[in-house]
Structure 1
Amino acid sequence: MQNQASSRSAHYRLRGSAGQWRVEGDGEAGMAYASKEAAFEAAVAAASNAIRDGYDVTITVPGAGETMLGVEDTGHRT
């Protein structure tokens, strides 16, 4: 198998807080999502298209200081 370095890259970063999570790509923020999880799913969909087009892909999701989904933790476990 031949390895070939890609000169194209796509970077997606989640930014925001509860109820206002956005996926930033190419320095521009997209639409708002209600949760961090929803914004992540949108970033993965965009990244999937970029991968298909031959791009290297990076997705950055903030961790510390935020709840896992960016919404209130009700304490319910399933």
Structure 2
Amino acid sequence: MGLAQYAVIATGEEWGVLHDGNLNSGYATKEAAFESAAAAASLAIRMGHEVHISVPGREEGEAAPTKRSN
């Protein structure tokens, strides 16, 4: 089988997932984009593909994600 690669990338003020040249964007957080990539990767694994997911680290000066208070 083939290789399925997913890359979480910044798209302006939002986050997206790049896969096979297609960008699925509109995620408010990097974590949300990752969860979407992981779900897609799970399906690719079931189909027998090798899977790679890349997520950039936090940049210098970038705030850490925080929990919202209810």
Do both share a fold (TM > 0.5)?
yes
Structure 1: segments with no counterpart, 5+ residues: 1-6
**Identical-pair percentage:** 44
Selected match of 2:52 from 53, 58, 73: 58
- The number of residue pairs the alignment matches comes to 66
Structure 1 stretches of at least 4 aligned residues deviating more than 6 Å after TM superposition: none
Bigger Rg, which one? 1
Greater fraction of residues in strand:
2
| CA distances 1:28-70 after superposition (whole Å, capped 9, x unpaired) | 111310000100000000000000000000000000404454x
| RMSD across aligned positions (CA) | 2.3
Structure 2: segments with no counterpart, 5+ residues: none
